[in-house]
């Protein structure tokens, strides 16, 4: 098996850093969700929305875990990730305390690429797919025409608040927002089938569809959808975008081994110029053109 340094020396020399990052803070949220802030100045400087860090959760667990970067401060030298524990690796990470060192590779991957020709951003996030959209929102702001629709079946890992920014075309049941996005001037609404207060009681894509229905063709022509979440949600977003003739950029998840482009363990089929090509999610993605993903021919 190749070592981390052998893999690092191949495709992305000088752009992906191996860092012993010191834990600044770790907050616990319901349903085993955590927000971890790490001192990682090199990573913070070059992180972009949609890029991720490949984290060694514990020295005894060799397989790293990929986590999207949710926020980065180049000035203060930190990054933040939000994660939900699934198994052994993230359980170990959730025990990290301020002052501990966590080794990570990052930032990895090609993130979202805002399209100046379609500047009105429609952000759709599901569950632990929300973090890269928070990062994108921060880099887009001020963006008066950006909107966000966020769905979760676990309690949201933030204190939802009553929405103040109007979002005509959304139902009265969707009354709550993510306050961090409102502070950026971006109207947001929440969706959940778990009966979370102030949330639209259905799929986040149905909430977004209802709003898109009320937009004019001229307004829709200026929009791009940016989405991250579980694969069924991303498939629904792709259909939503196609139905309204919108461009979409989707951040996908795949099981990863090296995480830096050296093992081809994360390949996924993508349609390019009508041809089916296998692309590495870690370094060719994780963000791809929605129209190129999930094709019957791909």
Ligand X SMILES: Cc1cc2nc3c(=O)[nH]c(=O)nc-3n(C[C@H](O)[C@H](O)[C@H](O)COP(=O)(O)OP(=O)(O)OC[C@H]3O[C@@H](n4cnc5c(N)ncnc54)[C@H](O)[C@@H]3O)c2cc1C
- Least gap, CB of 286 to ligand X (angstroms): 4
> What, of ligand FES, ligand X, none, does residue 265 touch, CB below 5 to 8 Å by kind?
ligand FES
- Least gap, CB of 24 to ligand X (angstroms): 18
Residue nearest to ligand X (CB): 87
Site string for ligand FES, 225-264 (x = CB under 6 A): -------------------------------xxxx-xxxx
Q: What does the DSSP 8-state code read for residue 286?
A: B
Q: How far is CA 188 from the centre of its chain?
A: 16
Measured between alpha carbons, how far is 85 from 93 in angstroms, rounded to an integer? 9
Nearer to ligand FES, 242 or 264 (CB): 264
Enclosing H/E stretch for 294: none
**Strand (E) positions, the chain?**
17-29, 33-39, 52-56, 65-68, 71-73, 78-84, 101-108, 120-126, 147-151, 161-162, 176-177, 187-191, 223-228, 247-251, 267-272, 275-280, 287-289
Q: Say if residues 79 and 44 touch (Cβ distance below 8 Å).
A: yes
CA distances from 75 to 42, 59, 95, 126 (A): 11, 29, 27, 29
Nearer to ligand X, 38 or 246 (CB): 38
Out of 12, 56, 238, 280, the only residue in the binding site for ligand FES (CB under 6 A) is: 280
Largest Cα–Cα separation, the chain = 56
Nearer to ligand FES, 159 or 278 (CB): 278
Q: Does 128 bind ligand FES (CB under 6 A)?
A: no
Measured between alpha carbons, how far is 189 from 173 in angstroms, rounded to an integer? 10
Q: Say if residues 5 and 75 touch (Cβ distance below 8 Å).
A: no
Nearer to ligand X, 221 or 257 (CB): 257
Considering only CA atoms, which of 250, 206, 204 is closest in space to residue 227?
250
- Least gap, CB of 234 to ligand X (angstroms): 12
Applying CB under 6 A, the residues found at the interface with ligand X are 52, 63, 65-68, 81-90, 128, 131, 253-256, 286
Nearer to ligand X, 27 or 219 (CB): 27
Nearer to ligand FES, 77 or 265 (CB): 265
Which residues in the 180-219 window bind ligand FES by CB under 6 A? none
Provide the binding-site residues for ligand FES, judged by CB under 6 A. Answer: 256-259, 261-266, 280, 282
């Amino acid at each position: 098996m190749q070592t981390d340094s052998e893999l690092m020396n191949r495709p992305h020399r000088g752009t992906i850093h191996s860092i012993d990052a010191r834990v600044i803070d770790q907050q616990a949220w319901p349903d085993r969700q955590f927000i971890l802030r790490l001192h990682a100045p090199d990573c913070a400087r070059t992180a972009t929305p949609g890029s991720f860090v490949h984290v060694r959760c514990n020295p005894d667990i060799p397989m790293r875990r990929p986590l999207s970067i949710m926020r980065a401060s180049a000035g203060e030298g930190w990054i933040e990730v939000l994660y939900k524990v699934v198994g052994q690796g993230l359980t170990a990470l959730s025990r990290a305390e301020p002052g501990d060192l966590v080794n990570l590779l990052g930032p990895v991957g090609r993130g979202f690429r805002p399209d100046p020709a379609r500047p009105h951003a429609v952000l759709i996030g599901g569950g632990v797919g929300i973090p890269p959209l928070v990062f994108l929102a921060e880099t887009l702001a001020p963006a008066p025409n950006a909107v966000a629709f966020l769905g979760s079946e676990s309690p949201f890992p933030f204190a939802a608040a009553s929405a103040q920014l109007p979002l005509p075309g959304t139902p009265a049941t969707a009354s709550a927002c993510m306050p961090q996005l409102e502070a950026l001037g971006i109207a947001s609404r929440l969706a959940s089938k778990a009966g979370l207060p102030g949330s639209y009681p259905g799929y986040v894509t149905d909430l977004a569809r209802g709003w898109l229905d009320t937009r004019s063709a001229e307004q829709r022509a200026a929009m791009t959808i940016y989405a991250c979440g579980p694969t069924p949600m991303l498939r629904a977003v792709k259909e939503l975008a196609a139905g309204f003739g919108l461009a979409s950029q989707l951040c996908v998840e795949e099981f990863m081994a090296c995480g830096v482009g050296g093992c081809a363990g994360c390949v996924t089929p993508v349609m390019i110029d009508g041809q089916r090509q296998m692309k590495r999610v870690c370094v060719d993605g994780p963000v791809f053109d929605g129209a190129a993903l999930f094709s019957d021919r791909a």
